[in-house]
Structures are given as structure tokens and as C-alpha cells.
Structure 1
Amino acid sequence: MADPDLRADCSRCFALCCVAPAFAASSDFAIDKPAGKPCLNLLPDHRCGIHSELRQRGFPGCTVFDCFGAGQQVSQVTFGGQGWRDDPARARSMFTVFPIVRGLRELLWYLTEALELPAARPVHRELARARDELRRLTEGSPEKLATVDVMEQRATVNPLLQRASELSRGKGRDCRGADLAGASLRKARFRDASLRGALLIGADLRGADLRGADLTGADLRGAELAGADLSGALFCTQAQLDAARGDRATRLPKGRERPAHWPSHTP
């Protein structure tokens, strides 16, 4: 990824992802937690008390969450290094702003990825302009940030990202928004396909050809990617890979890391 600032740096954050959002007891979280209340596992120093055992203790959802650097942005820039524990009013403001900044920085990540696509050069100028505007918004005061409509920003950016995708892919299948949850797709051919927003929860994609596929917003939780080829896949986030299950034979997009919980051998 071209911009390391869009990587989460938990050491510079006041554990906002452990406090601001609500958790619902499910396969992703072992407990219910209301928004704005610290997780039971959060320590006084803003560290997680079970960080090394999150998956084993029923919190895989925590391991795949990516704030795209919103945590350190809100903690160190928006609020100047002041935390939420000693000021209820500041806490409310931080918890309001955090998801907004997270949404904006996610869009920044996609725009940055699009600007790395040589074939998308015809829209690079517009992409850069949109990125600069979003970056300006993320640098606003808490009061200004609270008024930002992330959905409106997404509606402005998405057509540019779709155009960048179309310019960079061949004529693959159009599976946008397809419900493929739990589907048997072993060795399926999705080369250059659009899988934007597709539901692939628990899908069997072992050995599938996903080269050059657009994976924007595709839900890969629990998807089997052993032996799948995702080289050249567009807009594939690290969180999507972390939520899936692959192996050493899975080919990853450039710049992505093989998740630590994936087995080191092919069954």
C-alpha cells in the first residue's frame, strides 16, 4: 500500500474500536457490548487483556477489524492526544467522530489503491482530487467532522472507483451483490469478475481463479480460499483475507500479508 498512514497503529490510539462500537454476541463476538462502553477485556492502559487469544476466546471479529488508521487520527490529531477516560463530554464526541473518520479513511484507502492502477490513468486526476478532498475532511475539528455524511461521500467516490475497476479489468463476470454465501465454488472461474458487495460467507472457493477480480466490499468471512489465486485482485483489503481461510498455496494480491492463523501447509 502506498500510504502507510492508512494502517492502524494501536500504540497511538486510545482503544477506540474497543469502546465506541456496539458488539452483538455472535460467532464474531462472545459478548454483547453497547456502544460507548469499554469492552470487558480492555485494560486501563488501553491494551487488550486477551489480545493473543482473541480467536480462541470467541472474538474473531476483533482480529479482522481495520480502522484504516482512524484510531490514531482521532486520538492524536482530532483530539490532540487527549483521551476519553477523564472527560465524559470528550468521550461522547470521540465516539461520535470515530466511525465517521473510519469511513472516510476507508474511502481514502480505496482511492489510494485506485491511483496505483496504471490502466486507470484516465481517471487519476479525478481520483486524486477526491482523495485530497477526503483528506481535508478528516483533518477537520470534532464539530465539523460530526456533520460529515459518509454515505454522501461514498456516493461521490464509488462511481470513480467503479470506473477505475472497469478500466483495469477484462470482461469478467458481473457478480455484483450476488448472494453466494455457503456456495460450492471450488475451482470456479472469476477472473476479472466484479464481485463488488458479493456475499461469500462460508463459500468454498478452494482453487478458484480470482485473478484481477474486483473484491470491493465482498464479504469473505469464513470463505475457503485454500489454493485460490487472488493475484492482481482489485481492492482486496487485509481484513477480508484475515476473515477468510486460506493456506500456503493461496496466491495473494500484491502488498497483502498471509494471515498468521492460516495453516502453513495444504491439507
Structure 2
Amino acid sequence: MSKEIAKNIRKGLTADCSNCFGLCCTALNIMASSDFQINKPAGTPCMNLRSDYSCQIHSQLREKGFKGCTVFDCLGAGQVVSQVTFNGQSWRDNPETREKMFQVFPIMEQIHEMIAYVAEVLSHDIPNVLSDKLSHKLKELQNLTTLDADELLSLDLVMYRFSLNELLTVASESIRANIIAKLPGAKKVKDFNHARADWMGKKLKDKDLRATDFRGAYLIAAEMQNSDLRAASFIGADLRDANLSGANLSTSMFLTQMQINSAKGDGKTILPSHIQRPSHWIN
């Protein structure tokens, strides 16, 4: 698969709420917190959901205590479940499909997340053997999105994630190793490994953090203004309220829209092409 095709696949994984039956507002179980002011059991529509599946306080979500809604991103899973899996038949018009549709949504969301990671890594220069294996995985995952509801509900997603994780780890190390080899001074890949580090609130302003492995790291409220984060791996990292103002994330790996939505930034933050600048960021 060409890098350009992979880039387009990754870029195409965006939510289209106009073709979704408000699944993120209904299917998910949400506990009251600073990000969501009410308890909402799974399968219960949010009190702000209109009959046309739009949100009646969409432009005021943060002010009304629903910050979490502005962070969430399904990577396009909602419209696929609504229009492909259930052929455009809504849970309101067909109540008998309601429970099954709500159960399928988080499954499709996880599949889209895996597709996003694979497509992204295929847009980089990686060894041919690894590229072939990941291309096969991508086709396999894309095929899963066409399954019917019962088939999706029977999937063992743990198995898919486990087999994919090893390939993504090897690919990430290969990409970062090439970058590290070009950095000044004698450096080793292990020196850039900060996977699962607890860097909550850590002061990292103006730092050169290129090719750093932040896999699963806690970067909550970290001060990363003007830092160089190119080729850094953020798979599973917690970026809530991390300050990315002026930071360069142009080639950061495994960043999701949800991670960026949860962080802070400004008009000078450089993002990957597949990530949209959050509307709540300062200019």
C-alpha cells in the first residue's frame, strides 16, 4: 500500500454527526464528573439530544458543564454503525434494534481506532516485511466494519488488539530509531523511552522531545509549550489539559483527535494533517 493511500485512509476517519443517530449521546455509560454534569446510563439518551439527533446546547457544551462532549471523537464509527451496519434504520424508528445498535457502537469505535493506528504507521517509511504485515492487518480490520451486528458482537477484540500491538510497537521503534540516529550526539533508543511515565504537571517547555516514546504516559497538565514533539509516540497517552501551545506535533505518531481535544493549545501549535484544531483552543 502506498503511503499516500494510507494517509488518505487515516484522514478519512472523521465523525459525521449528520449521518449518525446520536450514538455517542445514547450508547455510552457516563458518570457525572467535571467533564459531564450528569449521570447517563448506557442506552439512555442524553437530555440534550433533540429528535433530529442534534444537540440543543452544542454551541454551549463547555459553559453548561459538558466539556467531555467536546473531547469525544468516534473516528467515524457512529455513521458506519448507523448507515452501514443498520442500513440507515434508526433506533427510534426501529426500537427492536435499539439495544443491539448501542452495543455495536463501542465495538465499531475500537475497530476504527485500530484502523487509524495501522493506516498512520503505513504512511511512514518502514521495512517492507513490516509494511506487508500491517497492510494485511488493515484489510482485515476494514473487512470487520462490513460485518452485520451479530458478527460484530461475537468478535474477540482483545485478540485483534494483542496481535496488532506487537506490530505497532516494532513499527514505532523502527521509525523513531531512524530519527534518533540523525540527532546530534551518541544517543540510544532506550534513552527516549518514557512509556507509562508519570509526568503529570511536568515542566517540559521548550524541550526537544523528538522521537520520545510516551506510550501510555500520564501527561495530564504537563507544560509542553513550544516543545519539539515530532516523531514522538503518544499511543494511549493521557494529554488532558497538557499545554501544547506553540508545540510542533506535525509528525507525532498515534495521536488521536480525542487526545488533542482534551489538551490545550493555540494557533501556533503545529498538528498532524489528519488532526483538526479544536474550536475551543485559543487563537
Name the TM-score class by shorter chain: over 0.9
Query: What CA distance in whole angstroms lies between the structure 1 residues aligned with 2:92 and 2:12?
Result: 25
Q: Do structure 1's residue 167 and structure 2's residue 186 form an aligned pair?
A: no
For residues 221-249 of structure 1, the C-alpha deviation after alignment (integer angstroms, 9 at most, x for no partner) is 11111222223111112222121111222
From 215, 232, 247, the counterpart of 1:228: 247
**Paired residues of 1:120 and 1:168 also in contact (CA < 8 A):** no
- Whether contact under 8 Å (1:206, 1:225) holds in the other structure is yes
Calculate the aligned-residue CA RMSD, in Å.
1.5
**Aligned residues, how many?**
264
The question of 1:129 aligning with 2:136 is answered yes
Question: CA separation in 1, counterparts of 2:79 and 2:276?
Answer: 22
**5 Å matches for 1:1-267?**
1-3=7-9, 4-169=11-176, 170=180, 171=189, 173-264=192-283
- In the superposition, the TM-score normalised over structure 2's length comes to 0.88
Consecutive unaligned residues in structure 1, runs of 5 or more: none
Residue identity in the other structure for 2:36 = F
Of residues 68-77 and 199-208 in structure 1, the stretch that sits farther from structure 2 once superposed is 199-208
**Unaligned ranges ≥5, structure 2:** 1-6, 181-188
Kindly state the Cα deviation for residue 120 of structure 1 after the two structures are TM-superposed: 4.9
Structure 1 residues 80 and 254: alpha-carbon distance in aligned structure 2, compared to 1, 3 A threshold = closer
3-state SS in 1 of match to 2:90: coil
The aligned residue for residue 4 of structure 2 is: none
Would the aligned equivalents of 1:114 and 1:120 in 2 still touch at CA under 8 Å? Answer: no
Q: Quote the Cα distance in structure 2 between the aligned partners of 1:136 and 1:194.
A: 30
Distance of 1:152 and 1:143 partners within structure 2 = 18
What is the one-letter code of the residue matched to 1:71? G
CA distance in 2, matches of 1:103, 1:2: 19
Greater shift in the superposed pair: 147-156 or 246-255: 246-255
Q: For 2:127 and 2:215, how far apart are their aligned partners in 1?
A: 17
The structure, 1 or 2, with the larger RCO (C-alpha pairs under 8 Å, 6+ apart) is 2
Give TM-score, length-normalised by structure 1. 0.94
CA distance in 2 between partners of 1:236 and 1:68 (Å) = 12
Counterpart amino acid of 1:127? L
Contact 1:120–1:165 (Cα < 8 Å) also in 2? no
- Measured in 2, the distance between the counterparts of 1:41 and 1:55 equals 13
Q: Shift of the alpha carbon at 1:6? A: 1.8
In 2: Cα distance, 1:86 partner to 1:111 partner: 36
Shift of 1:42: 0.2
Q: Which amino acid aligns with 2:8?
A: A
Counterpart-to-counterpart distance in 2, 1:259 and 1:201: 18
Partner-residue secondary structure (3-state), 1:106 = helix
CA distance in 1, matches of 2:29, 2:54: 18
Matches of 2:75 and 2:201 in 1, distance apart?
A: 28
Cα distance in structure 2, aligned partners of 1:36 and 1:256: 29
Q: In the alignment, is the contact (CA less than 8 A) between 1:226 and 1:250 conserved in 2?
A: yes
Identity %: 46
What displacement does 1:5 show?
4.2
Residue 90 of structure 1 and its aligned partner are, at CA, apart by 0.6
- SS of 2:192's equivalent? coil
